[in-house]
Amino acid sequence: MTTKYTFDAHLPLRWPTQCAVCGDKPTAMAKARCSVVTSAGYYVIFWTRTSRIITLEYPVCQKHNVLATVAGLISKRSLLNLGAGIMVVYAGIGFFAGLYQILTIGTPAVGEAFPWFSVVFFGGTAAGVWAARFTPVKVTDAQGDLITIKFSSDDYAKSFMALNAAPVGVGISPTSAAR
């Protein structure tokens, strides 16, 4: 199970004094970031957009600091990661087209590009799965003043929610979702 938590951006957050990954004593702060498009305008020749970048810092131990930082960069919602994801999808199409050609005619028509399609497809897929699995705290949504974060550890989420308990109707609501 993963736990999601929605809160009012104007309310202060208190983080448990433990690593968000393993529960050990924290020695560093990792960042969870999310870029949310707040408005977009399309014109004849160009388009504009404005976005809001949300950053939350959460405690981690030294052992998990670099891993949480790298996983957070790979799994954050941004235009750069959207572009990387699209590249992985196109590489997957090239890989499976080449594989089909190898199985049917013995050689891929994509020729020298087939190994690159394979590396980008499998490498990108592995990085995305690893990052999604390892990111301990992730900003998943922001609408108006409400921000939703997701925890990969249910124990850490319970500790977080106990510290940030508020009466119903104050803009905070914990929810659970299956992985």
What integer is the mean pLDDT of 100-128?
A: 87
Cβ atoms 68, 21 nearer than 8 A: yes
Residues contacting residue 72 through CB under 8 Å, at least 6 positions apart:
30, 31, 32, 33, 131, 135, 138
Q: Sorting pLDDT into bands at 50, 70 and 90, what band is 175? A: low
Residues contacting residue 139 through CB under 8 Å, at least 6 positions apart:
32, 33, 34, 54, 56, 76, 77, 147, 148, 149
How confident is the model over 3-33, as pLDDT tens digits?
888 888 888 888 999 999 888 999 999 888 8
Q: Is the pLDDT at 56 greater than 60, yes or no?
A: yes
Q: Is the pLDDT at 165 greater than 90, yes or no?
A: no
Could you tell me the pTM of the whole model?
0.68
pLDDT score at 51: 75
pLDDT score at 9: 81
Q: Sorting pLDDT into bands at 50, 70 and 90, what band is 96? A: very high
Q: Which amino acid, one-letter code, is at 76?
A: K
